[in-house]
Amino acid sequence: MLESRVVVVSINRPFQEVYDYLAEPSNLSQWGTNFGTEMRHVSGSDYEVDIPAGKVMLRFAERNRFGVIDFAIYPMGAEPGPPTPARVYPNGDGTDVAITMFKFPGITDEKFDSDEEWMRSDLGRMKIILEERA
C-alpha cells in the first residue's frame, strides 16, 4: 500500500461553477504551474501537453454529475497509469476540491513533501482565479 496525502482547498464559489472550470482541460494551464500553455486535443478525453520534462499525455475523467475530475499523466505512446483521484464537492455555499497524492516507489520523502507544497500552491492559485471571478 502506498503512502497518500489529500490536499484540499475550500473555494467560496458554487459547486457547479468550480466543477465546470476544473472539468474543462484547457483551464489547467491557468493554474497548474507544471503545465505549459499549449494543450492539444488528441481524442476523447486525451490531450497532449508540454511540461518541463517534455511532452506527455493527459487523460481526464469524462464530465459527470458526481464531481469526479480524476486525471492520468503518462508518457507519449505509453498506456495510462492509475489516475490521480480528484474530487469537487459542495461545502455549504462554497466548494471543496480534494486531490489525492500517492508516494510511488523511488520518490524520496523530500520530493513527496515538495510535490505536496507545489500542489497546495497550484490549488491556491486556482482558488484565487475562481474567487476573483465573483
Q: Is the pLDDT of residue 38 over 90?
A: no
Q: pLDDT category, 37, cuts 50, 70, 90? A: low
Residue whose C-alpha is closest to residue 91's, from 8, 7, 6, 10: 10
Mean pLDDT of the chain: 92
CA angle 111, 116, 117 (to 5 degrees): 100
43: exposed, middle or buried (Cβ count in 10 Å: 0-12, 13-18, 19+): exposed
> What pTM did the predictor assign?
0.90
3-132 domain in CATH 3.30.530.20?
yes
Q: What is the mean pLDDT of residues 97-123?
A: 96
Q: Is the pLDDT of residue 71 over 80?
A: yes
Strand order in the sheet with 94-103: 3-11, 94-103, 86-91
The contacts of residue 59 (CB under 8 Å, 6+ apart) are 45, 46, 47, 71, 72, 74, 80, 83
